[in-house]
Structure 1
Amino acid sequence: LGEDRNFKFIKGPIFSNIILADEINRTPPKTQAALLEAMQEKAVTAAGVTHQLDKPFFVLATQNPIEQEGTYPLPEAQLDRFMFNVSLDYPTFQEELNIVKNTTGTKVNEVEKLLNADQIRYFQQLVRNIPVTDHVLEYAVKLAAKTRPNTALATAKVNQLLSWGAGPRASQFLVLGAKCHAVISGKYSPDIEDVQAVAKPILRHRIVRNYRAEAEGLSADQIIEQLF
C-alpha cells in the first residue's frame, strides 16, 4: 500500500534487460507461465494492467536434468521461446583447476561493462539487415520442415524416430543464427554452412524423440546430423 492507502505496483527483477533464470525447471508451472508471457509479449500483466518491458530484453536460463527430483519439465511452448539450447558437460581438468583457483581465494573479480542497451539494439538491428540469398532461406526452412514426422519433407528416419518436430520459429531462428554466425566469421552474408553450424542448438530442444529413438540410444544431435 502507498501513502494514499492504495495498492502500488512495484516492479520486480523481470523488469531488466538481461534475465538469468537459474534452475528454471525448479520453478512451478504458474511461474513458468508468467515468464512465458514476458518472453513472448515483452510485457507483464498484473491486476489486469499490462506493463511493457524495456528493450533489449532476453532471457538466459539454466536447467537441471529432468531425472532429478523436484523439477517441473518446461512445456514445448516455453522451450520454443528459447533460441538456443546449449549443452554443458563437466569442465575439463584445466578448466576446473582454474575455477577452483579463482573462487577459493580472496581475489574479487570485477565485472566490466562492454556494451550499453543502445549498442545491443544497434547490433540486433544490424544482424537483421544482413541479406540472405533465397537458396539459404529455402535450406533453413526445409531443414526445420524435415524434422516434422509424417509430413511431405520428412525423411523415413524422422518418421521412425521422432514423435514431434520443430515449428516455424525454428526456421526463423535458423536464419537469424546463421546471420550472426556469418558476421562473427567475417562474412557479408550467411551460407548453408552457417545454417548447419547453428542447427543443433536451435533444433535439439524442439524435436521430441519417440521410444524407438531412445531404445536405440540415438540423441537429438545424431538425428539432426542425418538431416544435413
Structure 2
Amino acid sequence: MAVYVYSIVATDHPQRLDGLDGVGDPPTALRTVHAKKLSAVVSDAPEELRPKRRDLGAHQAVQERLMADGTVLPLQFGFTTTNDDAVREVLEERTDEFTERLQALKGCAEYHLKCAQDEDAMLRQILRESDEARRLNEDIRSGNASPDLPFALGELVAKEVEARQERLAAAVVDALREFAREESASRPTGNDFVSVSFLVNQKDEKRLRAAEQELAEELGEDFDLRLRGPLPAYSFV
C-alpha cells in the first residue's frame, strides 16, 4: 500500500504520536520509519485523499506535536510514496542534506506575513499625489472628456498601484527581516501586496511581533497587516 509521509525528524526526537490519528476516513494509524540518523512519520495513504478540513487538521496536528518536542522537517500536505522501504531509502540517501536542514531549523518556526491596502485609500492617495491622474479624473468628471480618457486613467492608476506596492512591499519586508534567519517570498493573492515567510528563532519571536505591531501602527488604518505563527517551517524545508 502507498505511504503518506508527514515529516522527517532525527532518530533521537521523542516522536510522541499517542492520541493522534493520520489522514483518511476512517483515520489511518501513524507509525515511524527509521534509518540510522533519521526517522519519518508516516501512515498508510488513503486511496482518495483530498484537502478536506479534517485531513488538513490531522496533518497539521502531527507537525505541531512534533514541533513541541524538537526540530521537524514538515512535508506539505499530500506527499506520498510507494512503501516504507522507499521512505527508508530516501532517508539514507539524503541523510546529510536532511541533517543539515534540521540543524538550520533548530529552535526556529515559520511566521507568515501578508499585507493589503484599502483600494479606495490607495486611489485617493494617487489622485492627491499624481498631477496627471488628478487632471484626467477631473476631465472625466466634467462630462466633456474624450471616451478614451477613462481607459488612460485606469492604465495610469494601475501602473501607479504596481509601483507603489512594490516600494511598500520592499519597505515592509525590510522592516522585519532583521528578526529572521531566512525569508521566502511568494506571489501575493487577492488584494495583498506582500506574502512572505520568515524563519524566526524562538528568542526573536517577541521582537518580531512587537516590530510588526509597530509597523502596523505606522502604516495606519488603511493597511491590513497579518502575521501568522509560529508555524511548521514548510517554506524552509
For normalisation by structure 1, the TM-score amounts to 0.31
* Larger RCO: 1 or 2 (CA < 8 Å, sep 6+): 2
Structure of greater Rg? 2
Compare the two structures and name the one with the higher strand fraction: 2
